[in-house]
Structure 1
Amino acid sequence: MKFLCTGIELADASSRGFNLDGQKLFAVRRGGQVYVYINRCPHRGVGLEWTPDQFLDPSNSLIQCATHGALFLIEDGECVAGPCAGQSLTRVDCREDAQGIWVSL
C-alpha cells in the first residue's frame, strides 16, 4: 500500500487529484467513504478535472468529465450519462486509517 494523503486533506463531498509514482489518480470522499480512481476518462483517455482537484459536477453528487460532460457514479465509477455510458472508471483499491488514505497500485 502506498500513502496518498492524510484524511483531513480530503473533506467530505470533495475531490482531489494526485500523481503517485507517475500514475494520475483522483480521490473523492462522500458520506465519509473514500473512493479512488485512475484519472482517465474511458471515452477519450483524457484527465477528468475541470481545474486542479475539481472532478465533481456542480452538485458534488457525480464525477464529471470536463472534456465532454460524461457523468460517473462516485460509488463505483459507472458512466451514467454521456458518450461512454455503460463503461466505468478504473477503481483503485484504498483504505483509510489514523495515518491517512492508502492505495494499492
Structure 2
Amino acid sequence: MDTPPGALCRLDHIPDGTAVAVDAVLPDGPENLILLRDGEDARAWINVCPHAGRRLDWAPGQFLISRGTLICAVHGAGFRTGDGLCVGGPCRGQSLRAVPVRVERGVVWLAES
C-alpha cells in the first residue's frame, strides 16, 4: 500500500526501533525530520544536532541507534529516543527539536501543535 498524499510515511515502512528521514513542510518552512518508530507509535524531531547544526544521519536517511540512544554521526552526541534529550557528547543537556506527529490506521501524519 502506498503512502497517502500529505502523510509522512506508512508506519510499516519503518522497522520497529529504527528511524528514517522524511521531508515535511512545517509552519516555519520545509525541514528534514527524524521519524522514529516505537511499536505502534512514532516520534519525530528536526534532523539537526543542537551542537553543530548538522544532520544526525551517517548516510542519507540512515541513523545509528544503540540501546535507546540516537547517535549523531558528526560528533557522537547521544540523544534518548524517548524524548530527544542529549545524554552524552558536546551538547549534553540540550534537546532535539520535537515535531508532533500522530499515527492513524498505520500512517504517520504531522499533528496539530
Structures share fold, TM-score greater than 0.5: yes
Tell me how far 1:20 sits from its aligned partner. 1.8
Tell me how far 1:7 sits from its aligned partner. 1.4
The amino acid across from 2:68 in the alignment is S
1:92 to 75, 92, 99: 99
CA distance in 1 between counterparts of 2:16 and 2:78 reads 19
Q: Taking structure 1 as the reference length, what is the TM-score of the superposition?
A: 0.88
The amino acid across from 1:94 in the alignment is V
CA distance in 2 between counterparts of 1:19 and 1:94 reads 13
| Alignment-derived partner of residue 13 in structure 2 | 9
The alignment covers a number of residue pairs equal to 103
Answer yes or no: is the 8 Å Cα contact 2:8–2:23 preserved in 1.
no
Question: Which is greater in Rg?
Answer: 2
Give 3-state SS (helix, strand or coil) of 1:3's partner.
Answer: coil
Unpaired segments ≥5 residues, structure 2: 1-5
| Alignment-derived partner of residue 33 in structure 1 | 41
State the identity %.
38
The amino acid across from 2:50 in the alignment is P
The amino acid across from 2:83 in the alignment is D
Structure 1 runs (4+) greater than 3 angstroms displaced:
none
CA distance in 2 between counterparts of 1:35 and 1:102 reads 11
The amino acid across from 1:5 in the alignment is C
Alignment of 1:54-73 (within 5 A): 54-57=62-65, 59=66, 61-73=68-80
Give the CA RMSD over aligned residues: 1.7
Q: Taking structure 2 as the reference length, what is the TM-score of the superposition?
A: 0.82
Bigger relative contact order, structure 1 or 2 (CA pairs below 8 A, ≥6 apart): 1
Check if 1:75 corresponds to 2:82.
yes
Unpaired segments ≥5 residues, structure 1: none
Answer yes or no: is the 8 Å Cα contact 2:7–2:107 preserved in 1.
yes
